Amino acid sequence: MTQIYAYIPFKNGSAEDVALEFPAAAKKIDEAASLTAVVTGSGADLDKVAGEMAKIYGEVIKIDHADLAYPNGEIIRKALTHVLPADAVVLVGHDTLGMDLAPGLSVKMGSAYAADIVDFQGVDGSVLKAVRQELGGAVSTHVTIDISAGAVMTIRPGSFAPVDGADAGGSVVDKSGEAGDLSSSRKFLEVVEAEAGDVDITKSDVLVSIGRGIEDEENIEVAQELADAMKAVVSCSRPIVDAKWLEKSRQVGTSGQTVKPKVYMAMGISGSFQHMGGIKGNPFIVAVNKNPKAPIFQVADLGIVEDILAFMPELTEAIEDL
């Protein structure tokens, strides 16, 4: 039986969605795995998340320290190295914090490291089989990871089915006293909120999201007409913002906004993990792309191989005719 630790990221007292996805990932490593959640932070927010996680995980390790109030990979690494066994198998979300925390953690623990895992195919002895994506999702790579001396692995959010309504009745174990010296060279100063844009894409149930496939700034009007017909809002991928065709506040992704719509229309978007990382809440994804091998089709609920510049006006007209 493999003992697995899941590091739980959270913000404002709410665990990130990946916290609900670690149990399915752990099961794909080892059906009989024993899974422990680890939460670090400070005060009431930490206690709230630890309590929530005890409904999902059999055991929750809590590390409470003022210096952990803001998630800083350098400090969390120190705490985890002191609290976890040297050969721990640790799952971390492949998000901004995870990418900061995980590589150094594996170095400090002297364990294997694998990033951006989208699937596991079981463990045989100490050899774990995993699937990663590379080259922006264009290639799936099958790797083996020797976990005999432990492993730190980042999991791409959205790759494993979330737990639904569990009540594990788990216990919270306070290991704050074992965290050791948490001094750091990097200090948290302040949170600078992004400037509010002309529209708030995070509030819309339906997003018509355009990518590089829109080809020209003038064509954005075509997407806007579709959005108007669908009572939706236009969002976009990063190249559209880089080209200054739309405001930064419309960008979906790890360096843009996190959105939770019910329907996500991905128009001429390839489906990079940086883009998909900003889409939460399991929306119904409609992808239109003229390349049948575009990675977005792997996650889309409905995939249409078509030129968006032909597709969008037709759909707008069909909706208006309803």
Ligand X SMILES: Cc1cc2nc3c(=O)[nH]c(=O)nc-3n(C[C@H](O)[C@H](O)[C@H](O)COP(=O)(O)OP(=O)(O)OC[C@H]3O[C@@H](n4cnc5c(N)ncnc54)[C@H](O)[C@@H]3O)c2cc1C
The contact set with ligand X (CB under 6 A) reads 136, 211-213, 215, 237-239, 251-256, 268-270, 272, 274-275, 278, 288-291, 294, 307-309
Task: Give the contacts of 307 (CB within 8 A, at least 6 positions apart).
Answer: 290
| Closest CB 242 distance from ligand X, rounded Å | 9
Measured from the Cβ of residue 19, the count of other Cβ atoms closer than 10 Å reads 25
Measured from the Cβ of residue 253, the count of other Cβ atoms closer than 10 Å reads 21
| Closest CB 255 distance from ligand X, rounded Å | 4
How far is C-alpha 87 from the geometric centre of its chain's CA atoms?
Answer: 25
The residue sitting closest to ligand X, measured at its beta carbon, is 253
| Closest CB 96 distance from ligand X, rounded Å | 9
| Closest CB 256 distance from ligand X, rounded Å | 4
| Closest CB 188 distance from ligand X, rounded Å | 21
Q: Is 186 exposed, middle or buried (0-12, 13-18, 19+ CB in 10 A)?
A: exposed
Nearer CB in complex with ligand X: 151/294: 294
Let me know: does 113 contact 102? Beta carbons within 8 Å.
Answer: yes
Helices (H), the chain: 22-29, 43-53, 73-83, 96-109, 220-230, 238-242, 273-276, 308-320
Nearer CB in complex with ligand X: 37/300: 300
| Closest CB 264 distance from ligand X, rounded Å | 12
Measured from the Cβ of residue 279, the count of other Cβ atoms closer than 10 Å reads 25
Nearer CB in complex with ligand X: 14/291: 291
φ, ψ for residue 78, nearest 5 deg: -60, -45
Nearer CB in complex with ligand X: 135/322: 135
Write the Ramachandran bin of 71: left for phi over 0, alpha for psi from -120 to 50, otherwise beta: beta
| Closest CB 276 distance from ligand X, rounded Å | 9
| Closest CB 204 distance from ligand X, rounded Å | 17
Nearer CB in complex with ligand X: 124/193: 193
Nearest one of 240, 228, 202, 253 to 96, comparing CA atoms: 253
d(CA 197, CA 295): 29
Nearer CB in complex with ligand X: 48/260: 260
Nearer CB in complex with ligand X: 72/237: 237
Nearer CB in complex with ligand X: 28/238: 238
Q: Is 280 exposed, middle or buried (0-12, 13-18, 19+ CB in 10 A)?
A: middle
The two tokens of residue 10 are: 């959270």
